[in-house]
Structure 1
Amino acid sequence: MSEATNDPAQTGGPTPETALAAADQKGPMLAADGTPLKKSLARALRRQKLRALMLIAPLLLFVLVTFIAPIVDMLFRSVENQIVSDTLPRTVVALEDWDADTGELPGDAVFQAAYEDIFYAAERKLHTRLGTRLNYEMTGVSSLFRKSGRGLDDIGEVYQDQFKDVDRAWDKAPLWAEMMGSDAWHAQAEAWTKGEPLPEFELRAGIADVLPRTAAAYAAFAEFQRVEEEKSLLKEEPWTLVHTALYQDLAAGDVSGYTGPHAAELAELDALVASPDFETVDIRAAFEDIDEDWMDPEVWTTIKMYSPNYTSGYFLNAVDMQKTPEGAEFRDEDERIYGLLFKRTIFMSLVITFSCIMLAYPVAYLLANLSARSANMLMILVLLPFWTSLLVRTSAWKVMLQQQGVINDVLVWLGLVGDADRLVMINNQFGTIVAMTHILLPFMILPMYSVMATIPPSYTRAAKSLGATNWTAFWRVYFPQSIPGIGAGSILVYILSIGYYITPEIVGGTTGTFISNRIAYHISSSLNWGLAAALGTILLAVVLLLYWAYDRIVGIDNVKLG
């Protein structure tokens, strides 16, 4: 018999080295379709990931549109302030050279720029929006801009009437269109028919050199008529601002070299303006006639301070501060409301959360330890409030807590309080805490119950068998295992309560409302969306800060829902 050998080379069996060498000679391993196996697996993995992405794409899009986008929009609105620079562009530039610290009014150039800007804004119905925005920073500015929008027409009418007395053609659209517009544009305007797009206005060559202010004003008028009104310039007489601009050009320049259309009529006006009998209007005095508040340097200071496109003013107002030429300063004591509201919101939310813990723990304990039949019945009672509207439940508490309500009637019947000394339990913090504790209680019970249901009863029995009393077994064995449920319920209830709106609005009165009620007021009533966004951003930051603190102290990993 031949001797056995363990040498693979002698037996002819493959070794790892020979197998690798053979694989290298044959090339990479191939899939069934002939492609390299590694490439085929990578392609299959990409397809699998793509299918998974397509499955969750609708959810991602929904979250992006309904959650992420509103938060981003809120953050943007809390600092956005483009309305001032967009509505008063010339005034903002003119105010750059004005020093507000001097306490003096700005120069005539600023009043001239404000006249033009407010006139344009009034034609576009934007001056009231600007007044509303600045009124958030200085009371009375809103009415100031409304009056100015109506009164600035009077300035140009003085010149319009005098020009018309010389030649009534100055009060008609054709003369202005022929003098200001190019021949090519004029031909297109005459050929235009209703229903077609209006031709884009084009200034006559050289007219801007002779009448620069008039050309700019008329071009703005032409663009407004084409885009906003969709009316032909051949039929619409220009703004009174254009007449003012024409006077200023004639008073400041020499038009004797002008030889274009209506040169003779323009020369007549030039002579009229040069005569001593020609009536003029001082722009600064006209503003004072409209409203004396324009002579208050603080108005111009407010415009200058809030002229940048982005501002910290909303956030300063949200923390009871304001912008001043010297920097940020706290408001007067009687004007500080938001700090109090934030403190009240945080404090009352903590009280509501603690109240829910105290009431929910025994209920959750019973749910976890009763028989299945009894636990199911108790669970129905816990969930029963969800079958009715939140508004109905809150209104029911308003009926029960009022001085002539059910609770006070019972207390009077029992003799605990006198009929003349009925308790005030509504329109205050007590009413808000009671109503919100009732409404949010299920959100505390359910997380607690889901955790308690997983605690084995044998742990408590084992502790008792080792000599522990009922209290010791509960406190040292059962309670520590239920803490994750308390944490989950506390986070849920606190986050819900800190942003609650309906219940504090109905039963809170003036002392039991939350910061969310003020946010809703600015969104729906005062329309100060910037301040509402700043308050919402601060509230979001407070919630995230408390969440971070909870994670550092307790640990978010210890929170369980069962």
Structure 2
Amino acid sequence: MPTAAPSFAPPEPSLKARLRRAERLHHLKAGALILPLAAFLAVTFLIPIGDMMRRAVHDPELAQVWPGVTAAIDDWQPRTEAPGEAVFAALAADLGQSKADRTLAVAARRLNSDYPGARSLLFSSARKLPETAESWRATLIHIDERWAEPELWAAIDRASGPLTAFFLLQAVDLERTPTGQLRPVPEQEAVFLDILGRTFAVALTVTLLCLALGFPVAYLLATLPPHLSNPMMILVLLPFWTSLLVRTAAWVVLLQDQGLVNNALIWLGLLDEPARLIFNRIGVIIAMTHVLLPFLVLPLYSVMKGIPKLYMRTALSLGARPTVAFLKVYLPQTLPGIVAGTLLTFIIALGYYITPALVGGAADQMISYFIAFYTAETVNWGMAAALGSVLLVTTLILFATYARLVRAGATPAGR
């Protein structure tokens, strides 16, 4: 009787291989689920931030309208005096061409941000420029003596692109000399460090006030029975149902000289005449604190709600005074909520624009106001991007420092 041919079926994969395959499949499914969110964040968050930081160092405007002089100025030596005839000849050609192409305003706008008076210089020189000259260097200097200044040519060199550090240096009140050395800008022009410090000071003040006001509210919401805490939670959430512009305008009405706040203070005898509570720093801080308070209460409340009441009762039963039990037992457990709430409030406060613009005065505007100014009013995208980049990097540094300090303080407690 003939025997059956032996079969050579592949061996079954081991249990370990099957587990690895199942785990890879699980990871692929999880990645597919978060892929739409990752794409959304990349398109609406990461790409705009990357483009902003690119614009802070990308400077192609002058090279597009003046290709000759921006290429010729690379050979400018020494940089303590005006360049030679070749660079002036390229400048004359570019001036004439940009005048004919009606692009002189582009060069004037870019140079005027670095060298005050450049706009009038360019237009008057282009208007008086002859068709031919034996020496373009002597001709242009004769038209306007400022063409002999190394500072002007240094500004042209800095604007030659395509990459520049000019906007970032201006955002921190620094500039380069014609020889390339860094130096502070003149005192009357040094404004951005003061604005950045003002922005962080206002944001920190508002955050601390929100913490001082929000901690008792969150504690009350977390400890009250549901039939009392739920209506109070609605009051906390109520500002979210009202437009930010409406809330800010309401504070303008309340804080004005004949507003409700001043009338109440005079009626109580605390003031003899209306106090100035609006269009100054006080009004900005009051309005921003009101707007941002829910952003601190909600994270703090969610953490407090999860702390068992048994801990406090146990500490009291073991002989601890209520204050000691609160500080030693309850307060450390609220640290995650405090960290989350203060960070959220502080970061949102840094970028506030509407409230300071409506309630604050000229000396109370934060950095967001100037970013909007350079974006919409002067169309100086490089300066707006540089200010935004400085604010972003400074915020990230402070965030990393704050997180490290919190971890260092929490480690001994955890041990």
Q: Map 1:519-530 to 2 at 5 A.
A: 519-530=371-382
- Secondary structure of the structure 1 residue equivalent to 2:378: coil
Give 1:293 deviation, angstroms.
4.0
* Aligned-partner Cα distance in 1 for 2:389–2:139: 43
Match of 1:505 in 2: 357
Once the two structures are superposed, residues 464-484 of structure 1 have per-residue CA deviations (whole angstroms, 9 ceiling, x without a partner) of 222222222222222221122
- Secondary structure of the structure 2 residue equivalent to 1:322: strand
Of the three residues 295, 304, 324, the one matched with 1:472 is 324
| 2:42 equivalent to 1:59 | no
For residues 479 and 45 of structure 1, do their structure 2 counterparts lie closer, same or farther at Cα, with a shift above 3 Å needed?
closer
Give 1:291 deviation, angstroms.
5.1
Give 1:94 deviation, angstroms.
3.1
CA contact (8 A) 1:29 1:37 kept: no
Match of 1:110 in 2: 87
* Aligned-partner Cα distance in 1 for 2:310–2:32: 47
Q: Map 1:453-472 to 2 at 5 A.
A: 453-472=305-324
Report the AA paired with residue 198 of structure 2: R
Match of 1:141 in 2: 118
Give 1:27 deviation, angstroms.
5.6
Q: Map 1:73-472 to 2 at 5 A.
A: 73-99=51-77, 101-103=79-81, 105-150=82-127, 152=129, 155-156=130-131, 283-284=136-137, 287=140, 293-326=146-179, 327-419=181-273, 422-472=274-324
Once the two structures are superposed, residues 47-78 of structure 1 have per-residue CA deviations (whole angstroms, 9 ceiling, x without a partner) of 66555444333222211111111111111111
Give 1:394 deviation, angstroms.
0.9
CA contact (8 A) 1:501 1:517 kept: yes
* Aligned-partner Cα distance in 2 for 1:416–1:144: 59
* Aligned-partner Cα distance in 1 for 2:150–2:184: 21
* Aligned-partner Cα distance in 2 for 1:123–1:515: 39
For residues 353 and 140 of structure 1, do their structure 2 counterparts lie closer, same or farther at Cα, with a shift above 3 Å needed?
same
| 2:23 equivalent to 1:29 | no
Give 1:450 deviation, angstroms.
0.5
Once the two structures are superposed, residues 506-539 of structure 1 have per-residue CA deviations (whole angstroms, 9 ceiling, x without a partner) of 1121222211211111111122211221111111
Greater radius of gyration (CA) = 1
Give 1:127 deviation, angstroms.
2.3
Report the AA paired with residue 238 of structure 2: L
CA contact (8 A) 2:110 2:159 kept: no
Runs of 5+ unmatched residues, structure 1 = 1-24, 157-243, 245-279
Give 1:360 deviation, angstroms.
0.5
Match of 2:4 in 1: none
* Aligned-partner Cα distance in 2 for 1:106–1:325: 12
Runs of 5+ unmatched residues, structure 2 = 1-6, 411-415
**How many residues of Structure 1 are paired with residues of Structure 2 in the alignment?**
404
RMSD of aligned alpha carbons? 2.8
* Aligned-partner Cα distance in 2 for 1:471–1:97: 74
* Aligned-partner Cα distance in 2 for 1:100–1:425: 57
Residue range with higher mean Cα deviation, 397-406 or 436-445:
397-406
- Secondary structure of the structure 1 residue equivalent to 2:278: coil
* Aligned-partner Cα distance in 2 for 1:549–1:296: 45
For residues 120 and 38 of structure 1, do their structure 2 counterparts lie closer, same or farther at Cα, with a shift above 3 Å needed?
farther
CA contact (8 A) 1:100 1:297 kept: no
* Aligned-partner Cα distance in 2 for 1:504–1:314: 25
Match of 1:483 in 2: 335
Give 1:430 deviation, angstroms.
1.4
* Aligned-partner Cα distance in 1 for 2:154–2:218: 61
Give 1:151 deviation, angstroms.
5.1
Q: Could you say which structure has the greater relative contact order, defined with CA pairs below 8 angstroms and 6 or more residues apart?
A: 2
CA contact (8 A) 1:81 1:307 kept: yes
Give 1:296 deviation, angstroms.
4.2
Once the two structures are superposed, residues 309-353 of structure 1 have per-residue CA deviations (whole angstroms, 9 ceiling, x without a partner) of 211111110111111124111012222111111111112211111
* Aligned-partner Cα distance in 1 for 2:317–2:24: 58
TM-score (norm 1): 0.66
Give 1:285 deviation, angstroms.
6.3
* Aligned-partner Cα distance in 1 for 2:217–2:333: 16
Report the AA paired with residue 99 of structure 1: Q
Give 1:102 deviation, angstroms.
4.2
Give 1:43 deviation, angstroms.
7.2
* Aligned-partner Cα distance in 2 for 1:100–1:488: 55
Report the AA paired with residue 78 of structure 1: A
